[in-house]
Amino acid sequence: MTGKYGFMAGAITLVLAGCGGSKAPEAEATAAAPAAAPALDLPASITINTPGLSPEGIEYDTKNNRFLVGSITQGTVFVVANDGTLTPFIQDPDLKSSVGIEVDEERNRLLVANSDAAAFGGQVPGHAKLGVYDLDSGMRIAMVDLGALGPEGAKAHFANDMTVGTDGSVYVTDSLARVVFKVDPAYTPSVFLPNGFANKKEHVLNGIVYHPSGYLLIGESVEGKILAVSESNPADMGEVTLPEPVKGVDGLVWAANGDLLVVRNDDSTRVVALRTSDDWESATIAGTGMFTGQATTGAVAGDAVYVVHPMMGDATVAPSIERVAIQ
């Protein structure tokens, strides 16, 4: 790295993931962890009694005290009760596959990465859109077509994950076009991170979070990198120095104590907590948490971390939400 974001050029890539992040740490508090959030009366696990739902994204809405999940197969966003009962919250015919979801409590909105999972099989070129909904009523505020921007040479699109900047701008990863889009507070889209990765087809960019110091952290699943990208100058990009790769990185989530939680969607079946003392020029492993089976991303509820098990590819098994202890 060549200084404080001032980055040296690096490689970026994407994976399937949702968001489910807690509030980002304060810009001045990267070395000292803030106090943990209060515990909530939530079960250790929740079985969602709807096989085939494939909830890829999860959020905990602290304003309304509820879990929200999307659905790869239905597009609908649901409220999940503690007993696994589902209540449709957003039923929008324009939602094909709801992938990453992000609660923006400050602006009272729910953000949804709108895609078509069939694009990964090559049956359709897919699409990349950002759905914006009122957090209380579920009414649609905007549907922004990101794929219409290209970039040139992109043969397919899949909006995957997103994060929100200080001014309300939304940054959305596109796994198949291999770019990051920016949607400003007026819902005007642009290509934030150009398609310099379009010829690196073995790479996958996935989870993304925003840090109030003015940069984005993005997970690259194949080589297990965490990439740091300057918000003001996306051409400046660096790689967070890690003690070991976090291959299979899918979701990125801010923990209540300021750690960055990496949900690995590979054979490791674990969450890795990363901690920094130099504003994410480097990081150490502060702990890990094990879970059973596939998980795509996570959500922080109070001081607890939950992952979602979508059970993709097996429509006979119910998906679930599981609390993971970081040790």
Range of the domain at 238: 47-324
Give the mean model confidence (pLDDT) for residues 140-148.
Answer: 97
Indicate whether 39 belongs to any domain. Answer: no
Indicate whether 272 belongs to any domain. Answer: yes
Indicate whether 260 belongs to any domain. Answer: yes
Indicate whether 268 belongs to any domain. Answer: yes
d(CA 302, CA 81): 16
Sheet holding 298-301, edge to edge: 45-47, 320-324, 304-309, 298-301
Say how many Å lie between the first and final Cα of the chain, rounded: 30
Return the CATH number at 285: 2.120.10.30
Indicate whether 17 belongs to any domain. Answer: no
Element (H, E) at 216: strand 215-220
Tell me the CA distances in angstroms from 222 to 68, 246, 258, one per residue in order: 28, 9, 25
Indicate whether 34 belongs to any domain. Answer: no
d(CA 320, CA 53): 10
Q: How confident is the model at residue 237 (pLDDT cuts 50, 70, 90)?
A: confident
pLDDT higher than threshold 50 for residue 143? yes
The answer to whether 210 touches 190, Cβ cutoff 8 Å, is no
Q: What is the pLDDT of residues 285-313, one digit of tens each?
A: 999 999 988 999 999 999 999 999 999 98
Q: What is the pLDDT of residues 40-75, one digit of tens each?
A: 789 999 999 999 999 999 999 999 999 999 999 999
Q: What is the pLDDT of residues 154-176, one digit of tens each?
A: 889 999 999 999 999 999 999 88
pLDDT higher than threshold 90 for residue 267? no
pLDDT higher than threshold 70 for residue 4? no
Indicate whether 121 belongs to any domain. Answer: yes
> Residues near 269 by Cβ (< 8 Å), separated by ≥ 6?
290, 291, 292, 293, 294, 295
Indicate whether 277 belongs to any domain. Answer: yes
How many domains are contained in the chain?
1
